[in-house]
Amino acid sequence: MADKETAIETVWKVLDEEADYVVELTQDIVRIPSVNPRFVTDAEQNREAAVQDRLQQETEALGFTSDRWEVFPDRPNIVANLPGDEDKSLILCGHVDVVPIGERTEWTVEPFGGEISNGKLYGRGAVDMKSGVAACIAAARAVRKAGIDLQGRLSIHTVVDEEAGGFGAMDAVAKGKLAKAAIVAEPTWGDVIPSEGGLFWTRVTIKGRQGHAGLRFNEVWPQRDLPGRTLPGVNAVELSTRFLAAMREFESIRCRTSYHPLVPPGLNTINPGVIRGGAGLGEDGLPIILTNPAIIPDVVVIDLDYKFLPNEDPAEVKKEFESFVHHFCQQDRWLREHPITVDWDYSGLYFPPMDTDANHPVIQSLVNRKTELGKAPVIKGFEAVTDAAHYAGAGVASVIFGPSGDGFHGYDEYVDLASLQETTKTIAAAIIDWCDVR
């Protein structure tokens, strides 16, 4: 333990003496626009590869070996490694893509300028999460400059596409780029976050029977069912309104009857985010005709943002919802014969739940070292989802910890520089605590 304490003291001294490094690296990569091309297609803004070039230069200068590959065209992941024992291996992770700037006139600073004012560094991605990426590299750099020989393997993962579903981290995990533990340096305002709920994007398809709207009376008003009667239409939009009302009650029940101590009560919501109704079902799984109200619509597609708690089993979550859908259909003569379908995989987007034990040594290190540097952090759960989920789903003990700021996914985004310095020191200490020294 004495060796660790001495090592941490030495590394913190390096960080104090070279405090500008993490700030300047953050500025450098904020000034390289890396808007996720799923949101805006513009060669001048879609420069994830250029950010990765800059980061690869930094890590290789520190003696890391780099594994670089394209997840999508011109959108590379980088995994940088310092060799060491696997039992004490650690990943430091961050994403390099950012969301669009929105209305330029709403910004009071240059969105990709990296301007510093009143202890804040401004720019898109400043807090979400290029400063966190810079903190990881600066922490590793300080360990190297202090001459510390780590026992465990240290990896730095800089990944693409987090803002659109985490497919960069998913690809890294699929390629076996794992470790025993991981710190994802998303902004947490100095708190330590070992838990986040899981998330499915789920598609529900409701089918009716197409007809002419002029014959709607044949559907909604009692008719003599005589030979030759025109088959009545079945309005899928109206079926969907009943389904949504029932699902709202189902959501309320599941939110009231499940609990996790670190996340807000009722976090496990089911958000009907996109609804499309019309006539005919296309090969893409969506209605073909969306603009003709003279047709009784025969298909409605509802895309759900389906959250569940950190301590819920994904298989049981699926089973529970499918049971609800089945029983709903059994109450309707049409739906008994033409049941609603549920597609859990239509988008490929899935975030496993993360529920790392709060007593895990990496979490305790972050708590203790952050406390030594200032205010004691809160151990809490995360309301949204991050790339930490993908590592957790592969068995990596994962935690989220990063700096403070504001304006993420909004205007005048910034990172607080004092919190950035403190975050870098805390991560550096956690590297030594977990990876150990030889």
Distance CA 190, CA 380 (A): 11
Q: Which run of H or E residues covers position 189?
A: none
Give yes or no: 162 in active site.
yes
CA 391, 174, 395, 87 dihedral sign is negative
Beta bridge partners of 120: 117, 416
Element (H, E) at 352: none
Beta-carbon contacts of 277 under 8 Å, excluding residues fewer than 6 positions away, are 236, 237, 240, 287, 290, 297, 299, 300, 301
Taking Cα atoms as reference points, which of 307, 199, 312 lies closest to residue 259? 312
Q: How far apart are CA 380 and CA 386, in angstroms?
A: 15
User: How many CB atoms lie under 10 A from the CB of residue 183?
Assistant: 31
Point out which residues pair with 343 in neighbouring strands. Answer: 203
Query: 147: which residues sit within 8 A by CB, 6+ positions away?
Result: 10
Instruction: Scan for tokens 């739906």, then name that residue.
Output: 335
User: One of 48, 58, 128, 162 is an active-site residue; which one?
Assistant: 162
Report the C-alpha gap between 91 and 152 in whole angstroms.
11
Q: How far apart are CA 188 and CA 379, in angstroms?
A: 10
Which residues, at least 6 apart from 294, have a Cβ–Cβ distance to it below 8 Å?
Answer: 212, 213, 214
Catalytic residue among 58, 97, 191, 298: 97
Find the DSSP H helices in 2-130: 2-17, 20-30, 48-61
**How many Å apart are CA 122 and CA 66, to the nearest integer?**
30
CB 207, CB 111: distance < 8 Å: no
Whole-number Cα distances in Å, 27 to 125, 423, 424: 10, 16, 15
Show the tokens assigned to 438. Answer: 């030889």
Is the Cβ–Cβ distance between 245 and 324 less than 8 Å?
no
Question: What is the C-alpha separation between 83 and 63, in angstroms, rounded?
Answer: 10
Active-site residue numbers? 97, 162
